Every structure is written in C-alpha cells, then in structure tokens.
Amino acid sequence: MCNLALLGKKIKIERIKNDLSQEKLAEMAGVSMRTISLIECGLQHPKFFLVVKLSKILNFDINILLEEKL
C-alpha cells in the first residue's frame, strides 16, 4: 500500500479534476468532510472499502490510486 501522504494527494487531485468539493465527496462517500480532509492531508488511513468507494466515485482505477508513484 502506498504511503498516506501520496494516497491523500492522489485523492485530492482526482477530486479537483472531478470538480468536487471535500463536502460533496464526503456526502457521496457517506463520510464526514473531516474524514476526507484528514485523508487528503495524509493524517488518516482510510479503510480499504472507503478507498474502493472513492475510486468509483472519482472514476479512477484503484490500482493506480494505490501505486507508490504520483
């Protein structure tokens, strides 16, 4: 699994590409906006089911999301 900072950065990049606010992404994923913020900042490790959910919402290949490179 990739490091938290890199995972968070990838999620943030894809969220912005999809023109979503943290609030909207959180709502779609069924989590709090704080959770999304902490994940994007690399301060919280998301459960695998949430990573899968975010990859589907953001229309992003989960394998790329979990790679060790940006």
Give residue-wise pLDDT tens across range 5-31: 999 999 999 999 999 999 999 999 999
Residue 57: phi and psi, rounded to 5, are: -60, -40
Domain tally, the chain: 1
Is 33 contained in some domain? yes
CATH assignment of the domain containing 12: 1.10.260.40
Q: 68: pLDDT confidence band, cut at 50, 70 and 90?
A: confident
Q: Are 26 and 12 in contact (CB under 8 A)?
A: no
Is 69 contained in some domain? no
Q: 1: pLDDT confidence band, cut at 50, 70 and 90?
A: very low
pTM value? Answer: 0.88
Is 34 contained in some domain? yes
Q: Which domain holds residue 17?
A: 4-64
Q: At what angle do helices 48-57 and 22-29 cross, to 10 degrees?
A: 120
- For residue 45, the model assigns a pLDDT of 92
CA 70: distance to chain centroid?
Answer: 13
Q: What is the pLDDT of residues 26-57, one digit of tens each?
A: 999 999 999 999 999 999 999 999 999 999 99
Is 53 contained in some domain? yes
